[in-house]
Structure 1
Amino acid sequence: MTTSLSDVRPIGEQLRAWRQRRRLSQLELASGADVSTRHLSFMETGRSVPSREMVLRLAEHLDVPLRDRNLLLVSAGYAPVYSETSIEEPRMDSVRAALRQVLQGHEPFPAVVVDRFWNLVDANAAAGLFMEGAPEELLRPPLNVLRLSMHPDGMARHIINLGEWRAHMIDRVRRHVALTADESLAQLYRELRDFPGADPVADAVVPPSGNEVVVPLRLRADGRELSFFTTIATFGSPVDITVAELAIESFYPADETTSRYLRERAGW
């Protein structure tokens, strides 16, 4: 649903679309937001214009992304309340410092910071492992880590369990598209899904084997087979759009061979 502030739909249409996207009935949303079903119905049909506080309350209960909450406010006739500050601005010094601390503290294991489109914002030195040998066009800013990992000329050449990993990542993007209704993200999803050489059968999500607790990333490097699992961290209670859309993905060795290789590579 993400669009420009100058091109917004009526507030009632947007509220109804977000409610339906979250698969809530009017009664369920009304009960959760402490508003009458009749009032909610009037807002959705345009018979009543919600107050600024009501827009924010409903957006909170619908888990609407911050940039889309601004759109809801504008469509209801109110000014946006959430800023979108460049990561390079002085007021973001503490944010950048926190990100750097996390990235450096994760060495010698890879870690990256990405935005809502999985474009690379920052990375530690160990993450260079994933970029080695990739063609220049995949490394030009903005470097998209999903495109780099799944492009036939990128990391995909080295990923041993490519079908399993692709299925996991593409499903992750698909679910994010469903949650945000972001058309730009939907375009990225279609691009990744339709990469040359993609095998729809191999990309099918398969049930776990019982021998693993997470979907691993297995790849070849320097004649060795490495295995990783990842964790994702975000900022708590953000009120700036840029901060809300940042995520830190940290890669951990899934076996001793991988751990030893990364330590040796870093000279530890």
Structure 2
Amino acid sequence: MLTQPRRSELSAGLRLWRQRRRVSQLELAVRAGTTQRHVSFIESGRSLPGRDMVIRLAESLQLSLRDRNALLLAGGFAPAYDEAPYDDPGLGAIRAALRSIVEGHRPYPAVVVNRRGELVLTNRSFDALTADVAPYLREVPINGPRLLLHPDGLAPRILNFDEWSWHVIDALTREAALNPDPGADALIEELTALVPPRPPTGPDHLGFAVPLRLRSEYGELRLITTLTRFGTAIDVTVSELRMEAFLPADEPTAKALRSLDPGGSG
């Protein structure tokens, strides 16, 4: 049986996540296949849900696998999802597949980052694009957003830095709102101090800074970005990986990227 402190931890955790997701008790109950009364009793500590119900509630709230494990632990249950280090032998097939994808994206830059925005994999096109940044910014662990926005990183070469920097910060802020993390909050605060004030928006504003305009030895590069996540991962580490790939927004950029990385297949 759950102790009262543990029961309170589960109740508070469920209530906090439901409020963060802006979901009513009734809506959560419908999603999880239970009743509003049962959800209310769980949140008040009057009812003790089983393991299956905790998983259903966590899934209905679209929690990350990491946060689902935390909610299970709060309920006195063992974690349901493994968390292997990225270099674990058991993830060898995943690493090989990701390497094949990012290298196959050449001559266009691509990276794989973890939940903290740290680069766990890059292709040679990205390495060539960032070859002249300060060496200390490329010391492991390399933080991708910091590499982009730091004045010793790519920032001096970003022609639309005033706008595009807020595109990066806003994306980090949205992610932090969905999956709170003290490290993410600290990074957002650090990067916000590095960029100009948010530029004003007018009636023709279409959103911040797409594409990225980057100065290079082959002329201006105009890049659009794509984001890919694992949709069915059952390992915490894998579920938190995402691939960020850059694509040319015009033919001159495509030609310049082929010159930047002549070995690419594009």
TM-score by length of 2: 0.91
Letter in 2 for 1:252: L
Report SS of the residue matched to 2:141: coil
| Shift in alpha-carbon separation, 1:201–1:72, aligned structure 2, 3 A | closer
Report SS of the residue matched to 2:243: strand
| Shift in alpha-carbon separation, 1:61–1:170, aligned structure 2, 3 A | same
Letter in 1 for 2:198: V
Paired residues of 1:168 and 1:205 also in contact (CA < 8 A): no
Q: Does 1:12 align with 2:11?
A: yes
Which of 200, 209, 215 aligns to 2:210? It is: 215
| Shift in alpha-carbon separation, 1:46–1:205, aligned structure 2, 3 A | farther
Paired residues of 1:135 and 1:153 also in contact (CA < 8 A): yes
Letter in 1 for 2:38: H
Which stretch shifts more, 182-191 or 48-57? 182-191
Report what 1:251 is aligned to.
246
Q: Distance in 2 between matches of 1:250 and 1:154?
A: 18
Report what 1:159 is aligned to.
158
1:156, CA displacement in angstroms? 0.5
Q: Residue by residue, what CA displacement relative to the aligned partner does 1:181-216 show, whole Å, maximum 9, x if unpaired?
A: 112111111111112xx22133x5677656x99811
Q: Residue by residue, what CA displacement relative to the aligned partner does 1:132-173 show, whole Å, maximum 9, x if unpaired?
A: 221122111100010010011210010000011111111101
Report SS of the residue matched to 1:77: coil
Q: Residue by residue, what CA displacement relative to the aligned partner does 1:97-141 show, whole Å, maximum 9, x if unpaired?
A: 110110111011100000011100001100013322211221111
1:51, CA displacement in angstroms? 0.6
Q: Residue by residue, what CA displacement relative to the aligned partner does 1:200-237 show, whole Å, maximum 9, x if unpaired?
A: 133x5677656x99811101011611110011111221
Which of 257, 261, 265 aligns to 1:262? It is: 257
The alignment covers a number of residue pairs equal to 258
Q: Does 1:201 align with 2:163?
A: no
Q: Does 1:84 align with 2:83?
A: yes
Report what 1:233 is aligned to.
228
| Shift in alpha-carbon separation, 1:206–1:56, aligned structure 2, 3 A | farther
| Shift in alpha-carbon separation, 1:154–1:24, aligned structure 2, 3 A | same
Structure 1: tracts of 5 or more residues without a match: 1-6
Paired residues of 1:107 and 1:126 also in contact (CA < 8 A): yes
Report what 2:129 is aligned to.
130
Paired residues of 1:8 and 1:71 also in contact (CA < 8 A): no
Q: Does 1:95 align with 2:94?
A: yes
TM-score by length of 1: 0.91
Paired residues of 1:164 and 1:205 also in contact (CA < 8 A): no
Task: Show structure 1 runs of 4+ deviating over 2 A.
Answer: 204-210, 265-268
| Shift in alpha-carbon separation, 1:206–1:148, aligned structure 2, 3 A | farther
Provide the aligned C-alpha RMSD in A. 2.1
| Shift in alpha-carbon separation, 1:58–1:205, aligned structure 2, 3 A | farther
Percent of pairs identical after alignment? 44
Report what 1:60 is aligned to.
59
Report SS of the residue matched to 1:10: helix
Report SS of the residue matched to 2:253: helix
Report what 2:35 is aligned to.
36
Letter in 2 for 1:123: T
Q: Distance in 2 between matches of 1:206 and 1:164?
A: 13
